[in-house]
Amino acid sequence: MNDDIEREVEAHRRDIAPGDEQGPAIVRGVRGYLIGFVLAAALTGVSFYITHSTLVWTPSIPIALSVLAVAQMGVHVVFFLHMTSGPDNLNNLLALAFGLLIVVLLVLGSLWIMTHMNHRNMPTEQIMQMQR
């Protein structure tokens, strides 16, 4: 019984909340955030540069921006949300994957509905003839 209490006390002693670190852990944390900030700013800058330059073939700009957006999301997930593929983050990754699935389904469903909306509607000429 006493050993259980000592193990619990030791576990609480090692459990440090984010922001309460001291020494080299602070430097690692700040360095991680700075690297993430620089990468995110660089990806944003590249996105603006691509839209205003002739570097990329004009019809492929949306694809290039989509690739840069996915890279930007990856930077945010790793450097700011601190999600990794470790066993302790499995639930976080599954929740993120489920959220992305829902977003993709909503976007694709909305696009499908908007593109097929006119197939169910009566042509404008028939509507005008009915009103006469």
pLDDT 10s digit of each residue in the chain, 132 long?
677 777 776 766 666 665 666 777 778 888 989 999 999 999 999 999 999 998 889 999 999 999 999 999 999 988 988 887 777 778 888 888 898 899 999 999 999 988 887 777 777 787 788 876
Question: The whole model's pTM is what?
Answer: 0.62
Euclidean distance between CA atoms 89 and 67, whole angstroms: 25
Phi, psi values for residue 10, rounded to 5°: -65, -40
